């Protein structure tokens, strides 16, 4: 016992402060975010140094973005932003230094990159110099709140754009023409596009000529939107849709005056036959492939030549026996492309129209034309496989393609593969192991 000024009263030590659990979690949250930001800054700046250097192709046999997809599971948008941000910050050293030191966040960098990435390198340098000057003038960039800094960069970029706006407006319009095709889940498609005046004139003239006189808009009957909104458009819009189909059918028929019957390829899996699903329809566009009902297939058959490809799981059933022919037989090529439905190199989203049929075991090494030795690869991934020595194999039952090189092994399922059942028909867990 200690005395307190000789009074005989014992002095007690102060009670320790016990941190509230919520306060500890809050502190941990900010620590985790700061640590994640530090690692993200290092990754972005590293990606900027590696992009275009050829190092990833030499070491991994893959482009940098594809490695990030397969090794880090980044989506297309995320990996493009990571690499693009690194490349942009290479022209903005002051901004890169602030990012590396934790003075600005990944969210701010993404927004800044989105603003300046299309500017010339010299303009990026000017904006970077202004960011550095602001940090010096205000003793740090934190005087700007996060959104305010992004706004200030937007304003600086807009000032630079205004200097060239008059000269570049016409060039932008000439380069802005596009037509985007998006597959709908019912087998139809949605079109969205923009044409400059030169391209718009013949298109509009042709649609007007094929559509005839404008029809009056009439009140539509009530539409059941329980399965989502229904987009009916105007009466003239529906006339234009009919006119576009008529113009395309005329072109496909070679101008003979007869309506062409385009080919529709339907995929039917005997292992998944059921009343409400008729199969999958091939479409040469990126994205998910539509699964259509038997009734829809029947309706499509009224205006298209339907060719069905029957599968047992991932294995096409109708295959030629001419596996040693000089070239790949047409029916085998058709079956392989129907099986793959696009480029099968892991990480690729290239549609079927961009692909060639590749021998996984080359002819000179004893390979033949059997579908289990053939795979669809887009031209860029076909070249990648040959140039860097990727070895591809397919598991016939599952359709999984595996690409191997050195210590790497990546896998790819066919487009449109549905989720598997928890157990197989015998009640046993499915075995995911590859047969090689």
104/149 Cα distance (integer angstroms):
9
Q: Is 356 helix (H, G, I), strand (E, B) or coil?
A: strand
Please write the tens of the pLDDT for every residue from 298-318. Answer: 555 555 555 555 555 566 655
128 and 109 in contact (C-beta within 8 Å)?
A: no
Measured CA to CA in angstroms, residue 100 lies from 40, 51, 53, 114, 339 at distances of 9, 18, 21, 19, 47
| Structure tokens belonging to residue 397 | 């039952």
> What does the pLDDT average to over 128-145?
90
Q: Is 268 helix (H, G, I), strand (E, B) or coil?
A: strand
Please give the backbone phi and psi of residue 358, each rounded to the nearest 5 degrees, phi first.
-110, 135
Q: Is 246 helix (H, G, I), strand (E, B) or coil?
A: helix
**pLDDT over threshold 70, residue 240:** yes
299 and 281 in contact (C-beta within 8 Å)?
A: no
- Going by the DSSP 8-state scheme, the letter that residue 419 receives in this structure is P
Output the average pLDDT for the chain: 76
Please write the tens of the pLDDT for every residue from 395-407. Answer: 888 888 999 998 8
Q: Residue 340 contacts by C-beta under 8 Å, 6 or more apart in sequence?
A: 352, 355, 375, 376, 414, 415
**pLDDT over threshold 70, residue 432:** no
**pLDDT over threshold 70, residue 105:** yes
Greater confidence (341 vs 33) lies with 33
Please write the tens of the pLDDT for every residue from 162-220. Answer: 666 645 665 666 677 777 777 665 556 778 788 776 677 778 778 777 777 776 654 44
**pLDDT over threshold 60, residue 381:** yes
Please write the tens of the pLDDT for every residue from 2-56. Answer: 445 554 555 666 666 566 888 899 999 999 999 999 999 999 999 999 999 999 9
Q: Is 404 helix (H, G, I), strand (E, B) or coil?
A: strand
| Structure tokens belonging to residue 199 | 């391209």
Q: Domain limits of the chain?
A: 25-165, 176-214+234-260, 321-412
| Structure tokens belonging to residue 39 | 């690692």
6/392 Cα distance (integer angstroms):
89
Please give the backbone phi and psi of residue 114, each rounded to the nearest 5 degrees, phi first.
-60, -30
Q: Which of 59, 12, 66 is closest to 388 using CA atoms?
A: 59
65/67 Cα distance (integer angstroms):
5
360/379 Cα distance (integer angstroms):
15
pTM of the model: 0.59
What was the pLDDT predicted at 135?
92
| Structure tokens belonging to residue 117 | 């990435």
214-218, 222-226, 264-268, 393-397 — which is least confidently predicted? 222-226
């Amino acid at each position: 016992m200690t005395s307190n000024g000789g009074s005989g009263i014992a002095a007690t030590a102060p009670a320790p402060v016990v941190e509230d659990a919520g306060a500890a979690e809050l502190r941990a949250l900010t620590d985790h975010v700061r640590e994640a930001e530090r690692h993200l800054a290092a990754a972005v700046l590293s990606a900027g140094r590696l992009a275009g250097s050829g190092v990833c192709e030499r070491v991994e046999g893959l482009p940098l973005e594809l490695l990030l997809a397969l090794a880090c599971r980044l989506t297309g948008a995320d990996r493009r932003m990571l690499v693009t941000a690194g490349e942009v910050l290479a022209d903005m050293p002051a901004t890169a230094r602030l990012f590396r030191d934790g003075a600005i966040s990944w969210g701010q960098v993404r927004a800044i990159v989105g603003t300046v990435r299309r500017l010339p390198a010299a303009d990026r340098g000017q904006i970077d110099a202004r960011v550095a000057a602001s940090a010096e003038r205000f003793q740090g960039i934190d005087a700007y709140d996060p959104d305010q800094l992004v706004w200030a960069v937007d304003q600086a970029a807009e000032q630079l754009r205004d200097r060239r706006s008059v000269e570049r407006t016409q060039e932008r319009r000439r380069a802005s023409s596009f037509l985007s095709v998006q597959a709908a889940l019912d087998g139809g498609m949605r079109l969205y596009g923009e044409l400059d005046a030169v391209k718009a004139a013949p298109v509009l003239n042709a649609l007007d000529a094929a559509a005839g006189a404008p029809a009056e808009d009439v009140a539509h009957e009530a539409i059941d939107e329980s399965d989502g909104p229904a987009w009916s458009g105007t009466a003239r819009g529906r006339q234009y849709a009919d006119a576009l189909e008529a113009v395309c059918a005329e072109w496909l028929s070679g101008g003979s005056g007869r309506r062409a019957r385009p080919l529709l390829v339907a995929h039917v899996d005997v292992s998944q036959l059921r009343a409400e699903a008729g199969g999958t329809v091939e479409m040469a566009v990126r994205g998910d492939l539509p699964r259509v009902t038997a009734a829809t297939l029947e309706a499509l058959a009224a205006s298209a030549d339907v060719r069905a490809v029957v599968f047992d799981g991932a294995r096409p059933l109708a295959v030629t026996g001419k596996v040693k022919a000089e070239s790949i037989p047409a029916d085998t090529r058709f079956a392989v492309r129907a099986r793959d439905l696009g480029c099968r190199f892991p990480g690729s989203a290239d549609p079927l129209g961009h692909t060639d049929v590749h021998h996984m075991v080359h002819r000179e090494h004893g390979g033949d034309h059997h579908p289990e030795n053939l795979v669809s690869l887009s031209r860029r991934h076909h070249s990648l496989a040959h140039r860097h020595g990727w070895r591809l194999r397919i598991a016939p039952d599952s359709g999984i393609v595996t690409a191997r090189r050195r210590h790497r092994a990546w896998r790819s399922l066919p487009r449109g593969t549905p989720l598997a059942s928890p157990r197989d028909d015998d009640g046993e867990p499915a075995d995911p192991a590859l047969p090689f």
